[in-house]
Amino acid sequence: QTIFPKEFQEKYLVSRGIGTGVCGEVKLAFERATCKKVAVKIINKKNFPSVGTATRNAEREIEILRRIDHPCLIKTEDFYQTEDTYYIVLELMEGGELFNRVKAGHGLDEAVAKLYFYQMLMAVEYLHRNGIIHRDLKPENILLASQAKTCLIKVTDFNQSKILEGETLSRTLCGTPSYLAPEVFTHAATTGYGPAVDAWSLGVLLFVCLGGYAPFYEHPSRPSVQEQIIQGEFTMVPSKWKGISDQAKDMVRKLLVVDPSLRLSITSALKHPWLQDPAMLAQANKLMYPPEDSDTELAHNKRPREDEEGDGN
């Protein structure tokens, strides 16, 4: 049974568990003052390999969680920690994890998959624009705001995320290069994860949403999953993909490209014909940027104009 810090207990009443992640669990809680329902993600620090990385890693995640602000990225409302646990108070996502919507063995309707995928692209484009690579995009980390099919989705879990140290490399390069070693300029300085890793993961996510099964999976008669991934070997089983449009398949094929320099970028994916769908875009924008209730109310009974003596609220 998790013990919660005193000041946390004073502000929130913790209820039942609502989801289990690999590193900790999620509980439903009520903010005492407002009775507002929230989610609390409990992250045990001891889950991390060694103390050093644990604290640095978690602090980086907390920094990311505080910094991000996008309709399709989870919002942190409050944060507490004890010497061995982090308590992150988040907005409630009543639709739960995307994982539970696609595991049933058949995919989502193509229109629903497109609406979700577009929101994931917008979220990841925002992260990349802010120098953050997620690196762990999977159905468990995509949350749905409601039980409705057409709903807002949010990306969560920045445990594996990386903040691009672009500034250090660019700062290095602004000095006189004459003393810099060759590897500072070659790919060695930027090996490892580029933003393109997120494009690949989104390709796998889209494949699962459309096909209802994973493109790379363990099977006795097949090479290892790692081998399948390195070869970029996947099959669109006709019976599972027969009703899916060619444009959707084209999007998947252009994301699941082994060479990151040839892989579709997030920006290019947003321009792909499959997403040039005004109805879906209008729906997504309404979900991401709902007209403020007060606006709609005011719109009915005449919003005070600037020149009018308004009460200034």
Cβ 220 to ligand D1A shortest distance, Å:
32
SS3 (DSSP) at 96: strand
Cβ 53 to ligand D1A shortest distance, Å:
12
Cβ 62 to ligand D1A shortest distance, Å:
9
**Structure token pair of residue 139:** 């159905």
How many angstroms separate the Cα of 310 from the Cα of each of 40, 99, 294?
41, 49, 15
Question: If binding is defined by CB under 6 A, does position 264 make contact with ligand D1A?
Answer: no
- Determine which residue in the list 97, 120, 204, 210 makes contact with ligand D1A, applying CB under 6 A: 97
Residues 75 and 38 sit within 8 Å (Cβ to Cβ): no
- Determine which residue in the list 143, 206, 208, 248 makes contact with ligand D1A, applying CB under 6 A: 143
Question: If binding is defined by CB under 6 A, does position 201 make contact with ligand D1A?
Answer: no
SS3 (DSSP) at 76: strand
Q: x/- string (CB under 6 A) for ligand D1A, residues 43-82?
A: x-----------------x------------x--------
- Determine which residue in the list 21, 194, 212, 232 makes contact with ligand D1A, applying CB under 6 A: 21
d(CA 90, CA 78): 7
- Determine which residue in the list 31, 44, 96, 214 makes contact with ligand D1A, applying CB under 6 A: 96
**Structure token pair of residue 182:** 């060759």
Question: If binding is defined by CB under 6 A, does position 159 make contact with ligand D1A?
Answer: yes
CA–chain centroid gap for 20, Å, is: 17
Q: What torsion do the CA atoms of 295, 300, 302, 304 make, to the nearest 10 degrees?
A: -20
* Residue 136 designated active-site: yes
In the chain, what is the straight-line distance between the N-terminal and C-terminal CA atoms, in Å? 46
Q: Cα Rg for the chain, rounded, in angstroms?
A: 22
Cβ 19 to ligand D1A shortest distance, Å:
3
Number of chain residues interacting with ligand D1A (CB under 6 A): 21
Question: If binding is defined by CB under 6 A, does position 39 make contact with ligand D1A?
Answer: yes
Catalytic center residues: 136
